[in-house]
Amino acid sequence: MKPERSGGSAKPKPPPRKARYLLKNVLARGCKSGYKPLSAHIRHGQVAEWFKAAVLKTAVGGSLPWVRIPPCPPKPVQIEPGNGCLASLWGEFEMAVLKALTYNLGNLLTFTGRETRGQFWPYAAIVFVFSMAGMMAVMMPEMFASMERMQKFATEHPELATIQQGSGSYSITVQGNHPELMPDMANMMGMMAIVFIFAISLLAAAVARRLHDRGKSGAWGLMPLPFITFASVMMPTVFAQTFADMGLFFTMFINNVLYIAALVFLVILLAGAGSEGENRFGPDPTL
């Protein structure tokens, strides 16, 4: 189908020879004036040259419009493993953690000076994770041993034990007083105390320096110790009781509440920004 013509039977004028020449060179092989083939521009995502040419055959040749070939979409940015932004951030994080770990392990007995949050918290997080792993390593064997003793007792004395097993649940109810079936709390609490003392020895100097950075004495770090010590001493007594002592129960409850309050207050102190400039404990570690 031929396009409709405007202005009677007059034929549209073809583009000037110069425009046709430029178009031919752009689309084909380029020219001596520096034009590159269109395929080269598209391959690299660049903008094609501007040239004068008629858009349609029906266009009027009196004043030809400028025509611009749109550029190719930009090439998507790909983050290669080990060489991208995420890898760079992860590398900086690893370096910061390594520096904090090296600095604090090298100053375990240095209770003077100041320490920034960036030096303290990665190290404290590592010590906390390993302390929890140590606590679990101490508790789980004793708990499993107690469960095995209860299962053996239930098998040998079915009239004194009731086993309830359901979807995702398992429990054994033993009638009467059988302390031999319970976990050895004295041994377990002794092992947990060793793990706790080891964690405290790793954190003591770092906590003192972090408090110094806040302008406070390192003695603030001792707030939770009396409560955790009292709980560790009294816990075997609580589990060894045949009948519940409500007075001891409420004493342990109040002690635990005070321990949590003291621990939260200490964490708030440690998380705060250090004092600017030099204070009574030394120069600003950020300078």
> Are residues 63 and 131 located together in one domain of the fold?
no
Q: How far apart are CA 262 and CA 278, in angstroms?
A: 28
What distances in angstroms separate CA 164 from CA 151, 167, 182, one per listed residue? 12, 10, 18
Residue 32 domain flag: yes
Residue 76 domain flag: no
Per-residue pLDDT of the chain (287 residues; tens, 9 = 90+): 444 444 455 555 555 555 555 555 555 544 444 444 444 444 444 444 444 555 555 555 455 555 556 666 666 655 555 455 676 777 787 888 899 999 999 999 999 999 999 999 999 999 999 999 998 998 888 888 888 888 888 888 888 878 777 777 777 777 777 777 777 777 888 888 889 899 999 999 999 999 999 999 999 999 999 998 888 888 777 766 666 678 888 888 999 999 999 999 999 999 998 888 888 998 988 87
For residue 111, the 8-state DSSP code is -
Q: Which of 51, 67, 83 is the last residue of a domain?
A: 67
Q: Which residues pair with 171 in a beta bridge?
A: 164
> Are residues 28 and 169 located together in one domain of the fold?
no
Q: Which residues pair with 38 in a beta bridge?
A: none
Q: How far apart are CA 278 and CA 287, in angstroms?
A: 10
| Among the listed residues 270, 273, 281, 286, the one whose alpha carbon sits nearest the alpha carbon of residue 128 | 270
Residue 246 domain flag: yes
Residue type, 245: D
Q: How far apart are CA 191 and CA 271, in angstroms?
A: 30
Residue 217 domain flag: yes
> Are residues 160 and 260 located together in one domain of the fold?
yes
Domain housing 25: 17-67
> Are residues 120 and 246 located together in one domain of the fold?
yes
> Are residues 62 and 123 located together in one domain of the fold?
no
CB environment 162-187: b (16+ within 10 A), e (fewer):
eeeeeeeeeeeeeeeeeeebebebee
> Are residues 231 and 161 located together in one domain of the fold?
yes
Residue 253 domain flag: yes
Residue 244 domain flag: yes
How are the residues of the chain apportioned to helix, strand and coil, as percentages rounded to the nearest 5?
55, 5, 40
Size of the chain, expressed as the number of residues it contains: 287
pTM of the model: 0.61
Residue 103 domain flag: no
> Are residues 129 and 242 located together in one domain of the fold?
yes
| Among the listed residues 123, 178, 124, the one whose alpha carbon sits nearest the alpha carbon of residue 154 | 178
> Are residues 154 and 212 located together in one domain of the fold?
yes
> Are residues 229 and 166 located together in one domain of the fold?
yes
Q: What is the structure's pLDDT at 236?
A: 73
> Are residues 29 and 125 located together in one domain of the fold?
no
Q: How far apart are CA 67 and CA 201, in angstroms?
A: 77
Q: How far apart are CA 173 and CA 203, in angstroms?
A: 42
pLDDT digits over 23-59, tens only? 555 555 444 444 444 444 444 444 444 445 555 555 5
> Are residues 27 and 159 located together in one domain of the fold?
no
Q: What is the structure's pLDDT at 235?
A: 78
Q: What are phi and psi of 250, to 5 degrees?
A: -70, -35
Report the domain count for the chain.
Answer: 2
> Are residues 125 and 237 located together in one domain of the fold?
yes
Q: What are phi and psi of 228, to 5 degrees?
A: -70, -30
Q: How far apart are CA 232 and CA 15, in angstroms?
A: 97
Q: How far apart are CA 207 and CA 267, in angstroms?
A: 10
Residue 120 domain flag: yes
